[in-house]
Amino acid sequence: MPELVFVYGTLKQGFPNFHLNRGRRVPGEFVTREAYPLYVVGDIRVPWLVDRPGSGHRVAGELYRVDADALALMDALEQVDEPGWYRRAAIEVEGRPAPGGEAVKAFVYFGCAERLDRIVVHAGPIAEYTEVLARSYRDGDFRAEAGLDRNRPHRDPAHLKQKGSKAWRSG
């Protein structure tokens, strides 16, 4: 059965990891029903949404219907099984520009809040991860910067690129 996933960062259409998004976009623009803090963090300048409802901003993003395989690919990119990375949780989102309408439940990826104490925050809290911010994004490993164990195997998102796929480039 298809699931809904709210994406706010590199998985959005036209952004660095969109080529890994196998979902079918739900028409329209969406925002989180509650405010959450969204940051751009680390040497790789990754978008990092923190599960602190009521702080930050109502975050803008896109909504996708995904099957089990597409969800598994997103989970792998977001490293949900790695300590200190992301975890998938359900939140409510609603259409924009008419907030206050009917909300739908969707999965979202929250970054580990404790990591903010150990990593450089370049921007935030912000309401939207924009194309301008995405131009500074780089694939990579920022475990050392975050004080995480560099000896644990790291699954760089580059391993997810399929042969023949084109990586996103700015400009």
Q: Which residues are catalytic?
A: 78
Whether the CB-CB separation of 120 and 41 falls below 8 Å is answered with yes
Rg (CA), the chain: 15
CA distance 7 to 100: 20
Please, where are the H alpha helices in 3-130?
68-78
Among 76, 89, 81, 16, CA closest to 49: 89
